[in-house]
Structure 1
Amino acid sequence: MSFLRGRRRGAKKSRRPWSLEPWQELPGGLERWVRESMDWYVEQFGDGPLRRDAVRPSDLQPSRWDGSEEAARELCVQVCERVGVPADDIRFSFRLEELRTAARSRAARLVRWGLEPHAESADPERAARARALLAITGLPELMSVAETKVLEKDGFEPELTVLSGTESARELYRCQEIRLAEGEQRAAALRAAHTEWDADFVRSTGAIWIDLRRWPGGKPTGYTTSAIVLSENSLKNPASVVAHVVHELGATATSVRSA
């Protein structure tokens, strides 16, 4: 595992796709970045989308709403048609809280299972690094293997694979940064890590978009679609479904066009 190779003190840090740090400073500031981004959008998609009427949740609210996942999926398809994104390229589901908890728990196990064999290595330096990382990691395991397998059998293996893979990579990177830090930098890194570990992140958002086709670094996963996962709470209100899906379709449309 490359994360066990260590890094020379003072060596330049390499950017990781799962790092929370910005990839680069905004050139010319925020205003210039927004302006150039809008120019890029027009270049990629034309100015047609800018001339369409705005999509308002009230425009697509069904006359009858029973709060079922089937009704919500039909509404998601209508939203896709309205904004011009192929619905066949997207997996819609409404179990965000379960999936994020399962993915984080699976990631915690992946980190542990990946490090434990190295902790028993005959190479003292490799073993010491692995043991140090095991002592640092605090990613919580909130769902059992059996509970996670239920979600897999329900058809959520792609979402769980990508989410847990990304989360485990971020955790390893986070722990490695803590291990290499010293003094106040280490204390600050630990405080930030505890914020991540303790966060009730499953309730922090109503929907997420996942590119199931690629890992964060760009390597193909073998899956062929993206996914929009909404909170079960969104089923209480069709306007909430519309608002969340429209927001997430922005990322989907850019990804589909650039694929």
Structure 2
Amino acid sequence: MLRPGDSFADYVVERILGRGGNAMVYLAHRQSEPGVALKILTDDHRDPAAIERLHREFEIARGLQHPHIAAMFDHGPTWLAMQYVDGGSVAALASLADKLSALAQVAEALDYVHHNGVVHCDVKPTNILVAKSFLDVGAVLIDFGVAHVMGEQSPPVAARPSHVQASLPYAAPELLTGSTPSPATDEYELACTAVELIAGAPPFTAATPMGLFDRHLHHPPPRLSYRIDWVPRAFDSILAKAMAKRPESRYQTCTEFVRLITRALT
């Protein structure tokens, strides 16, 4: 673990920003340049597969130029440097209006990603960062580490939950069954994210990974209007379509889904 003042690949570390499943993320700078988020694989996660995933994350994200996708700047065998966003997770936003704005911005980014042949496959609140100056910068989508490039053959997915490369509280059914991801996969995960931003928890919870599998595969989405007085019944219908078990039954774009829930909630 690096400490403030330590040097790494010509960068000077300022402080720790967080830790992911296989990497540490630091705020760092190089000479007089603005600060970056420096993601470095931990020593126990520098196997060939992890290094390849990091390289893939950099290459995919570098090819995507969008104001609501974190920009990639530089990389090495075990690290990458990307845009630093200073306001934390989207869950930190206080007002419904700001949350809906952030969802709209991420929906726009996802539709752009899909137009460029990529499926993110890990849309969730912690992968959506916001700037402290939200009105100026807004929300930024990060982490293309498990992204799928359309046209590539998906690797087989083991039946055990630990082998699914997705965050289970938000994972679309097709990810859990090993089917090929599509833009509708990101829409499902964005809908799960919307539920968490509105209700304070993802749509499905369970004591075990297999319990979450079962809920995503077989249970209907929650009816938030039954739990939250100010949520209209129309929201439940919109959510049910965005979280349909069959990808082809969902909305055509992420933007359409967010536009409809925004209209229902405001």
Q: TM-score, normalised by structure 2?
A: 0.22
Rg comparison, structure with higher value? 1
Structure with a larger share of its residues in strand:
2
Q: TM-score, normalised by structure 1?
A: 0.22
Structure with a larger share of its residues in helix:
1
Q: Which has the higher contact order (CA 8 A, sep 6+)?
A: 1
